[in-house]
Amino acid sequence: MQQTIETTLLIIGGGPGGYVAAIRAGQLGIPTVLVEGQALGGTCLNVGCIPSKALIHVAEQFHQTSRYTEPSALGISVSSPRLDITRSVAWKDGIVDRLTTGVAALLKKHGVKVIHGWAKVLDGKHVDVDGQRIQCEHLLLATGSNSVELPMLPLGGPIISSTEALAPETLPQHLVVVGGGYIGLELGIAYRKLGAQVSVVEARERILPTYDSELTAPVAEALKKLGIAVHLGHSVEGYENGCLLARDGQGQQLRLEADRVLVAVGRRPRTQGFNLESLELKMNGAAIAIDERCQTSMRNVWAIGDVAGEPMLAHRAMAQGEMVAEIIAGKARRFEPNAIAAVCFTDPEIVVVGKTPEQASQQGLDCIVAQFPFAANGRAMSLESKAGFVRVVARRDNHLILGWQAVGVAVSELSTAFAQSLEMGACLEDIAGTIHAHPTLGEAVQEAALRALGHALHI
Amino acid sequence: MGTHVIKMPDIGEGIAQVELVEWFVKVGDVIAEDQVVADVMTDKATVEIPSPVSGKVLALGGQPGEVMAVGSELIRIEVEGSGNHVDAPQGKPAEAKPVEPVAAPAANTPPARAAVAAPACQAAATATAAPIVPRQAGDKPLASPAVRKRALDAGIELRYVHGSGPAGRILHEDLDAFMSKPQTATGQAPSGYAKRTDSEQVQVIGLRRKIAQRMQDAKRRVAHFSYVEEIDVTALEALRQQLNQKHCDSRGKLTLLPFLVRALVVALRDFPQINATYDDEAQVITRHGAVHVGIATQGDNGLMVPVLRHAEAGSLWGNASEIGRLATAARSNKASREELSGSTITLTSLGALGGIVSTPVVNTPEVAIVGVNRMVERPMVIDGQIVIRKMMNLSSSFDHRVVDGMDAALFIQAVRGLLEQPACLFVE
């Protein structure tokens, strides 16, 4: 047994929640140890947000280029492009490497001791990592989440999770995506654009069931245009003889030939495998229950990010991590954002920040809802993407903006403006009175606010 | 949340009274600044009264047609911000300026506080352009992240801070203003509760006056001596519950009172000086053979003492039902004069509200009153063991002029013995 390491803050998990907490703690002079079993950066940097966006970019570039093999209104023509998926993946891995190396450098710069290995919780103050005992005053759980597996589709061989889908050695002929949520659709669209046949099987009656149908309609249309077959209301039964079997509500069986099946049916907080049970923390469903300061039911044991439940978003985890470090440094902090943006990198993209019209009316709020279509936006036309719109939800009585939603090409970048307007407590008049640069997609934001006030200019 | 009161303005011409013509708002309405709340009328003209603040209507000060004194409360509005400050009206039309009460007539009782249903003719008044809506209870205070962080660092709860920005947004300036305000004595943020300055006068008449006189008389004449003893009523309670289980349907339910009455009856045989009345003017003590037990009862209008006559001759259930009947009669003011007088000793019990100790006032001309305190389960030491027993105190008062302390103590100990060994209550 090695000598016990003593520290003030011990963080389990080096994902976006854990490493940000560690950096902030380092800045605040808190002695910090971070334990990571796989790779710094967690799901987000290694097998999530970043690699998926890299792959989506490759797919988009290839798809656009392929389009020009046919006569194009833009006047571009190319001979048939070819894709070397091995190099694509290597390029993606390069980005991931650069970012994870960057995280390691940042941690080092801020004096954080990183221990590689799997942590085993002994009690609220002690953790073992491969026989190394670490004693801490504060324990921060940032263990993230796992992909949910389906019992009738055990992973292995042609059955893959998003992790394998982000590092393909070859492209499948026909990929079946199980799950019509954002992960399944983002990857499904990317694979389709890379040249594979893609089908999506979803148990519920809609794609992207967490968004309203107005928002998802342009995505559904794009799927059709791309030639992605969507089978809604189908429950998966298994995979045999190169076919995925599913059944609809009427008992009708569906057989889809597939040489690869991507299971993307959601994520579950990672609470198993490191003896968390011994702390007997209060749970909130499958997640660790936390209060507004991210404190668990045990004093000085904190939990952030996916392991602490929905919304499972990297930026939420980062904000929580930063906050917990400040609380440990003795500052008064509470996690009380007005809104956390959720972005879906499908084609077109979807952004949702704050309350949707449905949520607002469920809460009994009398609201103005207005939307401005990109079809009336010059920049959108110049990007060949007139689909989609920006929608604003505001209180009728004082015009306080409660939420923004948008669907369209590149609208993910509008999330910044949306979140900022909500955090600043902006009213419709504030946005309507801000000059938005022309020609940009952001003009649709201003026009949506103007329209809510009854005097949109360009519609 | 604070309270803003609009007083009946001085409309000029030296008039002291104004007639309230019509309300345009009702209690609970959210009103905007400058919204007209009421029409009032002098001999010469009808004048609109606008609200200088935005907020929620808490109370209306009168009904249409009522003639109100200048300076009396017209309307009470809940406004955003500190409850201890009534915001000065800003930039109001001169005629709406609240003025000091002009010689409010002394006999003028405060206007009824009850919610007066106003005619629902708000018409165009609500359709104002300026969207200023006060923060409702439970609304999250609106502030930028920088303001929120500053407030957290300073230990300020933003829900107590007035927001002057659009949609009630709390600005850095609002926080500055809040922080520069003198803090309350404890250094805490203001409570958020309004100070109350209202009071109500209630005439002491009828039964209340009678009670007051009797109590004062008793306290002036009687040299009170109180004695408290605790009683282990575990066995008594067991007996009572068993009897109730067995005979409740056929004979009625037994409370503790008939047992206490029985205990008094039996104990008083040995203490005739306690079942007595003392006429201190004639200097005569009358010792009574009959035990007429006064049962102190809370009626709608105050304390009444109906009398259980000849308790010594009543059975357990007979006394129980008679006590029940008397209590009902007294509560509904139907007890006859006969039923309310002639007691020789009084029993007072507040049941679960009995507390641990009370100091009952002797019901003159009697010389003793026995008070029953709350029954609770408590750990007691019996034979060196801690056991849970049902315990109850008796707080009794005696007229020390004619009852010696020793006698009083012996009497209560006798009662205790009877209650703790309930069989003795019935063994002759």
Mean pLDDT in residue range B154-183: 85
pLDDT of residue B126: 38
Q: Does the pLDDT at position B59 exceed 90? A: no
Alpha-helix runs per DSSP H in A227-356 = 314-328
Instruction: Give me the CATH topology for the region B2-126.
Output: OB fold (Dihydrolipoamide Acetyltransferase, E2P) (2.40.50)
pLDDT of residue B133: 61
Could you tell me the pTM of the whole model? 0.61
ipTM over 0.85: no
Question: Is the separation of the CB atoms in B387 and B216 below 8 Å?
Answer: no
Taking the mean position of all CA atoms in its chain, how far away is CA A415? 13
Residue with more model confidence, B146 or A270: A270
Q: Confidence band (pLDDT; 50, 70, 90) for B43?
A: low
B130 near A CB under 8 A:
no
Fold agreement (A5-146+268-328, A159-265): yes
pLDDT (tens digit per residue) in A108-141: 999 999 999 999 999 999 999 998 999 999 999 9
Q: β-strand B368-382 against B345-349: which pairing, if any?
A: parallel
Q: Confidence band (pLDDT; 50, 70, 90) for B337?
A: confident
A425 near B CB under 8 A:
yes
Three-state SS annotation for B125-150: HHCCCCCCCCCCCCCCCCECHHHHHH
Q: Confidence band (pLDDT; 50, 70, 90) for B118?
A: very low
Q: What is the dihedral sign for C-alpha A294, A300, A306, A309?
A: negative
Strand, coil or helix: what is B171?
A: coil
CATH of domain A5-146+268-328: 3.50.50.60
Question: Is the separation of the CB atoms in B133 and A398 below 8 Å?
Answer: yes
pLDDT of residue A318: 97
Task: Give the list of residues 6+ apart from residue A17 with CB closer than 8 angstroms, or none.
Answer: A42, A142, A144, A304, A305, A306, A314, A317, A318, A320, A321
Question: What type of residue sits at position A367?
Answer: C
pLDDT of residue B123: 39
Residue B149: closest C-alpha in chain A: A333
Which residues of chain B are within 8 Å of residue A397 when distances are taken between CB atoms? 131, 133
Question: How close are the terminal C-alpha atoms of chain B, in Å?
Answer: 69
pLDDT (tens digit per residue) in B284-297: 999 999 999 999 98
Q: Which of A327, A334, A395, A398 is most worth mutating to test chain B (most B CB atoms within 10 A of its CB)?
A: A398
Task: Give the list of residues 6+ apart from residue A280 with CB closer than 8 angstroms, or none.
Answer: none
Which residues of chain B are within 8 Å of residue A364 when distances are taken between CB atoms? none
CB within 8 Å: B131 and A398? yes
For residue B402, give Cα distances in angstroms to B274, B367, B406: 9, 7, 12
Q: Does the pLDDT at position B62 exceed 90? A: no
Please name every residue paired with B378 in a beta bridge, in sequence order, or none if there are none: B389
Which residues of chain B are within 8 Å of residue A332 when distances are taken between CB atoms? 152-153, 155
CB burial of A311-347 (b: ≥16 within 10 Å; e: otherwise) equals ebbbbbbbbbbbbbbbbbbeeebebebbbbbbbbbbb
Task: Give the list of residues 6+ apart from residue B201 with CB closer than 8 angstroms, or none.
Answer: none
pLDDT of residue B231: 95
Task: Give the list of residues 6+ apart from residue B87 with CB closer than 8 angstroms, or none.
Answer: B2, B4, B52, B53, B79, B81
Q: Does the pLDDT at position B104 exceed 70? A: no
pLDDT (tens digit per residue) in B312-323: 999 999 999 999
Question: Is the separation of the CB atoms in A179 and A236 below 8 Å?
Answer: no
What DSSP letter does each residue of A246-265 carry, written as one string? EEETT--EEEEE-SEEEE--
Q: Does the pLDDT at position B350 exceed 70? A: yes
Q: Confidence band (pLDDT; 50, 70, 90) for A222?
A: very high
Instruction: Give the whole-angstrom CA distance, residue B383 versus residue A273.
Output: 56
B207 near A CB under 8 A:
no
CA-wise closest residue to B344 among B409, B424, B271: B271
How many C-beta atoms surround the C-beta of residue A416 within 10 A?
13
Mean pLDDT in residue range B156-174: 87
Highest mean pLDDT: which range of A282-291, B66-75, B209-218: A282-291
pLDDT (tens digit per residue) in A353-405: 999 999 999 999 999 999 999 999 999 999 888 899 999 999 998 899 999 99
Q: Does the pLDDT at position B122 exceed 50? A: no
Instruction: Give the whole-angstrom CA distance, residue B27 versus residue B31.
Output: 10
- Residue B392 backbone phi and psi in degrees, to 5: -150, 135
Q: What DSSP element (H or E) covers B178?
A: helix B172-180
pLDDT of residue A1: 57
Whether domain A342-452 has CATH 3.30.390.30: the reply is yes
pLDDT (tens digit per residue) in A322-351: 999 999 999 999 999 999 999 999 999 999
pLDDT of residue B103: 42
The beta-carbon neighbor of B166 closest among A332, A334, A427 is: A427
Q: Does the pLDDT at position B132 exceed 70? A: no
Q: What DSSP element (H or E) covers B370?
A: strand B368-382
φ/ψ region of A156 (left if φ > 0, alpha if ψ in -120 to 50, else beta) reads left
Q: What DSSP element (H or E) covers B376?
A: strand B368-382
CATH superfamily of B206-426: Chloramphenicol acetyltransferase-like domain (3.30.559.10)
Instruction: Give the whole-angstrom CA distance, residue A282 versus residue A72.
Output: 60
What DSSP letter does each residue of B207-223 carry, written as one string? HHHHHHHHHHHHHHH--
CATH number (3.30.428.10, 3.50.50.60, 3.40.630.40, 3.40.50.2020) of A159-265 reads: 3.50.50.60
Question: Is the separation of the CB atoms in B280 and B266 below 8 Å?
Answer: no
The mean of the pLDDT values for chain A is 94
Percent of chain B with pLDDT over 90: 41
Residue B154: closest C-alpha in chain A: A332
Strand, coil or helix: what is B33?
A: coil
Q: Does the pLDDT at position B204 exceed 90? A: no
Number of CB pairs, chain A paired with chain B, less than 8 A apart: 43
pLDDT of residue B12: 60
What ranges do the domains of chain A cover? 5-146+268-328, 159-265, 342-452
Q: What is the CA radius of gyration of chain A?
A: 24
pLDDT of residue B167: 82
Percent of chain A with pLDDT over 70: 100
Distance from CA of B141 to the nearest CA of A (A): 10
Instruction: Give the whole-angstrom CA distance, residue B365 versus residue B350.
Output: 23
Residue B132: closest C-alpha in chain A: A398
What ranges do the domains of chain B cover? 2-126, 206-426
Which residues of chain A are within 8 Å of residue B142 when distances are taken between CB atoms? 400, 425
Tokens of residue A295, six digits:
């404190």
Strands (E) located in B218-265: 224-232
A164 near B CB under 8 A:
no
pLDDT of residue B81: 67
Mean pLDDT in residue range B255-269: 94
Question: Is the separation of the CB atoms in A29 and A345 below 8 Å?
Answer: no
pLDDT of residue B45: 63
Q: Which of A164-178, A185-199, B131-145, B364-378 has the weakest average pLDDT?
A: B131-145
Which residues of chain A are within 8 Å of residue B165 when distances are taken between CB atoms? 425
How many C-beta atoms surround the C-beta of residue A366 within 10 A?
9
